[in-house]
Amino acid sequence: MVIHLWLACATPPEGPPATTGTPTTPEAVVAMDPARVAIRASLDLRGVRPSIEEFDRVAADPAAVDELVEEWLHDLRFGSRMADLWSEVYLTRSEAAYYVGPDDYGLYDVSGADFLHSVGDQPLRMLARIADEDRPWTELVTADWTLADPLLGQIWPLEREEGDGWTEARWTDARPDAGVLSSNTLWWRYTSTDSNANRKRANQISRIFLCEDYLVRPIEFDRALDLLDEEAVLTALQTNPACLNCHASLDPLAGYLYGFWYYDYYSVADLTEYHPERELQWGDQTGVPPGYFGSPGFTLKDLGRQLAADNRFAECAVEQATHLLLGRDLVLDDTGRLVQHREAFIQGGATLRALVRSVIASPEYRAGDVDDAVSVPWKLASADLLASQIEDLTGFRWTTDGYDLLQSADVGFRTLAGGADGYYATKGATLPNATLVLTHERLAEAAAAYVAATDLALDPTERRLLVDVDAAETSGSAPSSVRQLQTLHLRLFGKRVAETDPEVVELAALYDDVFAIQQDPTSAWAAVVSALLRDPDLLLY
Ligand code: HEC
């Protein structure tokens, strides 16, 4: 649901903070347990669960959660996490989307996985940097810089600072600077046919930056219109009220994008460079010059500035952040809170950090289980989060031929794991489903086998997860084994369980059962850890 905060726009940025609008939390909502707030925020901001020391801080003083949130907001992983969250909006990390690969550039030693990683992530890395460095959100569409890794530096017309990872770069062809709008990635991902005349691209700009998807508006179809008559369609587009409802503003937006007009989507020569000589091609395609909801413009740079100056641009960031962090669609009752988040965002210099801080502090984000069946505010871990938290806990990353199996939809299981690729699934799952549970099960088994084998071969001080167990111990109920089971509960779920807790007793019995068959502590611990990693608490947070 799209909610506009037009009234809020009247509040000047330097006006009084966050008192506009009535918070709309239902009375029945109880606050979430602080340990769970910590898990939720840590996963959202860092992609990993809190450490045992962090859980200890929260246990000693529930208010420590807010200090931790502040630390995590400045964690090195913050920008990347924001990129992961917004990947669901941009939908550029999809191998199905791109027509060309490394072979087309003659790079036979570059894998498809690496190519996809560079191309698909390019605009999202810009978003990550803007988030990390507290740059204003408007730089997304106005920046005169871009980012490139060595591969993109090699294949695209870019002058790039030295370095291994993503470094600042400038386009060296004649393309206008307009942040992510200048990136090849967006226009490789969102293509146009002749008759489409960049309208899909225009709609994606509106969807991504203004939260307005034209395709959700009603279309009243004029049955008298002969869709096979090209002339008649062109006339209808500019005169028929049923078409003008959308096309009056959509087609001018499309007019800005002809520098990225490609004739051959399989030709890297055509796709790589910007084409200033094609900028006026709108004249042949639709005859509708570039313009932004009634204001004229000429280049992509104008479009970037017009977007950045539009109130809907900030409102859209607020809607997206709230939606992505709450893990649910927004409803009318959220309006008051959105106004508060918008104020916090603007007071904070339009930085994503200020906006995310506001959402994480909100009662909606920290709502505990509701007393009746209204809604249990659990969020489903995305495929990215499943991968990053398991890697942090166990050291295991699920890969084949350089493909991260939880990130790839073609080679791996991203879609099966509930992830969106933009082609087969445009929205991430919000509830567990059969394929997600199967993927989770296989991941848990592989990660558990991995961590049991690596940890038990190491000195306890160097281990990752099985820090308490004595590698020579063969009983699940021995003191070191029981202590280990308790520590596992704390590390994984933030729960302190007694030695006699049924969970501990049953896992000790599982250990003994497996040991009786395998006669091997590594296999027995692999079974125990696998059972724990399959817990729904790892999926829902
Ligand atoms: C609700 C908004 C809306 C209305 C109303 C609407 N359109 Fe569209 N139209 C769009 C969008 C959005 C696209 C681009 C869709 C895409 O490719 O993702 C589009 C695309 C088109 C295209 C290009 C199709 C192609 O890909 O080849 C034509 C032609 C078109 N519309 C004609 C019309 C006509 C004629 C009318 C009036 C009868 C009309 N539209 C009414 C939103 C609308």
pLDDT digits (tens, 9 = 90+) for 109-156: 999 889 999 999 999 999 999 999 999 999 999 999 999 999 999 999
Q: How many residues does the structure list for the chain?
A: 541
Task: Work out which ligand 1 atom sits closest to the CA atom of 227.
Answer: 35
Residue 422's pLDDT is what?
77
- 275 has a pLDDT exceeding 80: yes
Nearest alpha carbon, ligand 1 atom 36:
243
Nearest alpha carbon, ligand 1 atom 2:
246
Residue 511's pLDDT is what?
98
- 14 has a pLDDT exceeding 50: no
Residue 370's pLDDT is what?
61
Instruction: Kindly state the average pLDDT of the residues 54-81.
Output: 98
> How far apart, in whole angstroms, are the C-alpha atoms of residue 34 and residue 10?
37
Choosing from 250, 253, 282, 423 the residue with most ligand 1 atoms within 8 A of its CB, the one to mutate for a pocket test is 250
CA 137 to chain centre: 16
Class of residue 347 by CB neighbours under 10 A (exposed 0-12, middle 13-18, buried 19+) = middle
Nearest alpha carbon, ligand 1 atom 17:
200
- 25 has a pLDDT exceeding 70: no
Instruction: Kindly state the average pLDDT of the residues 86-99.
Output: 91
Residue 60's pLDDT is what?
97
DSSP character string of 420-485: --SSS-SS--SS--HHHHHHHHHHHHHHHHHHHHHHHTS-GGG-SS--S--TT---TTSHHHHHHH
3-state secondary structure of 53: helix
Measure 269 CA to ligand 1 centroid, in angstroms.
30
Measure 248 CA to ligand 1 centroid, in angstroms.
11
Least confident of 14-28, 294-308, 495-509: 14-28
What average pLDDT is seen over the chain?
91
Beta bridge partners of 158: 171
> How far apart, in whole angstroms, are the C-alpha atoms of residue 386 and residue 397?
10
Pocket of ligand 1 (CB under 6 A): 193, 195-196, 199-200, 203, 214-215, 217, 219, 221-222, 225, 233, 236-237, 240, 242-243, 245-247, 250
Residue 221's pLDDT is what?
74
- Whole-prediction pTM: 0.91
H/E stretch holding 36:
helix 34-46
More confident residue, 27 or 271: 271
Q: For 486-510, write each residue's pLDDT tens digit.
A: 999 999 999 999 999 999 999 999 9
Task: Work out which ligand 1 atom sits closest to the CA atom of 195.
Answer: 27
- 471 has a pLDDT exceeding 50: yes
Choosing from 246, 249, 257, 282 the residue with most ligand 1 atoms within 8 A of its CB, the one to mutate for a pocket test is 246
What residues contact residue 309 under an 8 Å CB cut-off, 6+ apart?
none
Nearest alpha carbon, ligand 1 atom 23:
196
Measure 499 CA to ligand 1 centroid, in angstroms.
65
Choosing from 214, 217, 282, 426 the residue with most ligand 1 atoms within 8 A of its CB, the one to mutate for a pocket test is 214
Measure 158 CA to ligand 1 centroid, in angstroms.
35
Q: How confident is the model at residue 34 (pLDDT cuts 50, 70, 90)?
A: very high
More confident residue, 401 or 503: 503
Residue type, 395: G
Residue 95's pLDDT is what?
82
Residue 410's pLDDT is what?
84
Measure 270 CA to ligand 1 centroid, in angstroms.
26
Task: Work out which ligand 1 atom sits closest to the CA atom of 197.
Answer: 23
Nearest alpha carbon, ligand 1 atom 28:
196
Q: How confident is the model at residue 428 (pLDDT cuts 50, 70, 90)?
A: confident
The answer to whether 411 and 375 are in contact (CB under 8 A) is: no
Measure 205 CA to ligand 1 centroid, in angstroms.
15
Instruction: Kindly state the average pLDDT of the residues 294-316.
Output: 97
Nearest alpha carbon, ligand 1 atom 40:
243
Measure 475 CA to ligand 1 centroid, in angstroms.
68
Token readout for 514 is 């497996």
3-state secondary structure of 142: helix
Choosing from 205, 217, 243 the residue with most ligand 1 atoms within 8 A of its CB, the one to mutate for a pocket test is 243
Residue 482's pLDDT is what?
97
Nearest alpha carbon, ligand 1 atom 25:
196
Measure 244 CA to ligand 1 centroid, in angstroms.
10
Choosing from 199, 213, 221, 286 the residue with most ligand 1 atoms within 8 A of its CB, the one to mutate for a pocket test is 199
Q: Select the highest-mean-pLDDT range: 237-246, 359-368, 485-494.
A: 485-494
Residue 176's pLDDT is what?
97
